[in-house]
């Protein structure tokens, strides 16, 4: 079946540090890939997405590239801020058997200190 594996947290960084969160997936065909972010006490919101191989999603200084050959969708940001402290979820959705379902990874908590 489909699955998503992402690095465990918490990841603790200083402000302006470089952030990478690894995400790999298992799925047949060409799933759509997403990063959702959950700020404290809030619901999830879409951070970025990519729908085909080699696509790069970007938003708010975050980037992730859909790598079919390594089945990965790693999230990166060059200079984090305290306001980036949140839980980040990698997720996939397949058109043919998921019926709109998002398959989530376990989530990675990121803590940015001043």
Partner 1 sequence: EAQVTQNPRYLITVTGKKLTVTCSQNMNHEYMSWYRQDPGLGLRQIYYSMNVEVTDKGDVPEGYKVSRKEKRNFPLILESPSPNQTSLYFCASSMNRDAYNEQFFGPGTRLTVL
Site of interaction with partner 1 (CB under 8 A): 4, 31-32, 36, 41-46, 49, 51, 89, 93-95, 98-102, 104-107
Query: What is the spatial distance between Cα 39 and Cα 95, in angstroms, rounded to a whole number?
Result: 28
> Rounded CA gap, 79 and 103, in Å?
28
Q: How far is the CB of 89 from partner 1 (least distance, A)?
A: 6
Specify whether the backbone of 3 is left (phi greater than 0), alpha (psi in -120 to 50) or beta.
beta
Q: Is 97 left (phi over 0), alpha (psi -120 to 50) or beta?
A: alpha
Minimum Å gap between C-beta 94 and partner 1 is: 6
Cβ distance to partner 1 smaller for residue 80 or 107: 107
10 vs 78 by CB, closer to partner 1: 10
Which of residues 66 and 77 has its CB atom nearest to partner 1 in the complex?
66
């Amino acid at each position: 079946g489909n699955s998503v594996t992402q690095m465990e947290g918490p990841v603790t960084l200083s402000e302006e540090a470089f952030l990478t969160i690894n995400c790999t997936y298992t799925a047949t065909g060409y799933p759509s890939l997403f990063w959702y972010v959950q700020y404290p006490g809030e619901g999830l919101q879409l951070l970025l997405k990519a729908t085909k191989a080699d696509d790069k999603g970007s938003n708010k200084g975050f980037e992730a590239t859909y790598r079919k050959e390594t089945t990965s969708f790693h999230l990166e940001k060059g200079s984090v801020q305290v306001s980036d402290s949140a839980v980040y979820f990698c997720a996939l959705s397949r058109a043919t058997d998921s019926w709109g379902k998002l398959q989530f990874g376990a989530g990675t908590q990121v803590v940015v200190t001043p």
